[in-house]
Structures are given as structure tokens and as C-alpha cells.
Amino acid sequence: MEYQKALRQLIEEFKTNFMPSVSLDLAIFGFHDGQLKVLLLRWKGTDDWCLPGGRIRHEENLEVAAYRSLQQRTGLREIFLQQFHTFGDVMRYTNFSKQETMAKLGLPEDITEELVSRDVSVGYYALVEFANAVPTPDFFTEECRWWDIDQIPPLLFDHNDMIKLALKTLRRQLSYQPIGYNLLPDKFTMPDIQQLYETILGQTLDRRNFQKRMLGYNILERLEERKTGGAHKAPYLYRFDKEKYEKALAEEILFVG
């Protein structure tokens, strides 16, 4: 009863303070142990998952709302965030019908009709450093955790489609913008960044050509220290030159492709 009371209060707050019929959804990508991962939420009392998302306050810019929602789910600021698509189909239920989805949410009928009405959703994807993120569920969910990109379960609404399109956009971005500043630790090796690119692209890249290309973009700084703990000759550590990296983002020079 207390949960339903709090839920009704939240819906009234939505009506008063937030824009109706428009929302945002976040495909938040991280990279860990050689795997590209995406952050998902599990609804309270269910085994059903969805992407994080949020609403836009009446006096709030769309991008500000996206950054606010992103910070609430990860605890992070200054994250690479990019809008990639607007989802506006009348029926946005890919894996389960609307009736099945309503049943899975387990909410009272009157609340469900108000909470899950037709929305146009603006999709954003974000790149975050896995180790620094603190996955945090929202009011409607009880678990927020990383999933390997190739092990994502059937999601609620059209969120599997969102992830596919976000990943497609991210792969396309590799051809004209650098990737890695928000996904890798501060110091990394050339094999580390090559593994990141290969994981995102889903294909193997030639080591020599990749290294030549990356160094040619002039966004990496080689450090006078090597990675420790390996059996073979330790590779040099690198870090991004943030100023040159941001300049490359702005200029959209040709990258790996």
C-alpha cells in the first residue's frame, strides 16, 4: 500500500512538473574484461528488464534532462552523450504485446494507463568508464546492472531495437570520431584500445595498421612507463591528449573504417 501511495504521488508530480507524452531513453555502454556492456534496469517484483530513461521538466532543456538521468543511474558527470534517434511508433512493443507488458509490470490498472501511455522517446547513447560507474535503480526498479552486449534478454517495450540502433550508430561513429576516452581507464596499452575497437565493430583489425592509424591521429600520448604483470615484453602505456581528442571530435576527421 505504501508503494502504491508513493507511486500515485509520483504520477501527480509527473503531471505537474514534467512534459507529457515525451520521454528519453539511455543506452549506456561500458567496456570491461574485453566485453562491451550495456546498463539495464529490472522492474520491481519481476524478471523483466529495460533501458534506463527519464522525463523532461517543463523548464529543462532536453540535453540537460538526459545528463540528469544519466547521472542518477551512474553517479557520473562529464560523460560522452549523443542523441541518436527519435522513437515514435504508435505501438512500441517488440517482444511482448501491450497487454503482456502491462501484466508484467504488475501495476494497478489505473496507474498503468497513466504511466504507460503513448510516448515519443528521444534515444541517447552514452559512453562511460565501467569502473567509475555506480549503477543505481530508480523508483520503479530494484536492480541496475551491466549486461554483455551479446547476452541481452528480451526487453520490455522496443528497447532491444533501441540498443541495436545505438550500437549501429556507435559503429558508424568510429569512422569519423575517436572512441575510448570515456570507455578506457586513464592509462591503457595499444592492445587495450585495439580490443575496444574490435569489440565494438565485431571484427578483427590488423595490429600494425591499427597502431599506425591511431598514432597518426595525434590524439594519444605515449608515457614513459610500461604495463606490468605480463609474461611477454611489457607494452608502453598511453593516455589520450584531452585537448586534441576534443578537437578531433569537433572536426570529425576520418578514423578507422
CATH number assigned to the domain comprising residue 225: 1.10.10.10
For residue 130, name the pLDDT band (cuts at 50, 70, 90). Answer: very high
Contact in structure between 44 and 140 (CB atoms under 8 Å): yes
Q: Are 51 and 27 in contact (CB under 8 A)?
A: yes
Confidence class for position 162, pLDDT limits 50, 70, 90: very high
Same domain, 161 and 196: no
The least confident of 2-6, 123-127, 132-136, 154-158 is 2-6
Please give the average per-residue pLDDT across 79-86, as a whole number: 94
202 in a structural domain: yes
Instruction: Give residue for cell 605480463.
Output: 230
Q: Give the per-residue pLDDT at 229.
A: 65
Per-residue pLDDT tens digits for 212-239: 989 988 999 999 888 876 656 788 999 9
Q: Which domain holds residue 220?
A: 190-251
- Global pTM value: 0.89
Domain shared by 54 and 118, yes or no: yes
Give the pLDDT confidence score for residue 190 in this predicted structure: 95
* The residue type at 237: L
DSSP-assigned states of every residue in 128-151: --GGG------TTEEEEEEEETTS
- Position 114 scores a pLDDT of 64
Residue 213, phi then psi, degrees to nearest 5 = -65, -50
In angstroms, rounded to a whole number, what is the distance separating the alpha carbons of residues 23 and 60? 13
With a cut of 80, say whether residue 115 has pLDDT above it: no
3-state secondary structure of 70: helix
* Listed residues 139, 174, 209: the one ending a domain: 174
CA neighbor of 191 nearest in space, from 164, 168, 210: 210
Same domain, 118 and 240: no
Label residues 217-254 b or e (16+ Cβ within 10 Å = b). Answer: eebbeeeeeeeeeeeeeeeebbbbeeeebeebbeeeee
Mean pLDDT, residues 147-159:
96
Please tell me the predicted confidence (pLDDT) of residue 10: 79
Structural domain includes residue 257: no
Residue 143, in any domain of the structure: yes
Q: Which helix (H) or strand (E) holds 114?
A: helix 109-115
Q: Is residue 181 part of a domain?
A: no
Task: Say how many domains are in the chain.
Answer: 2
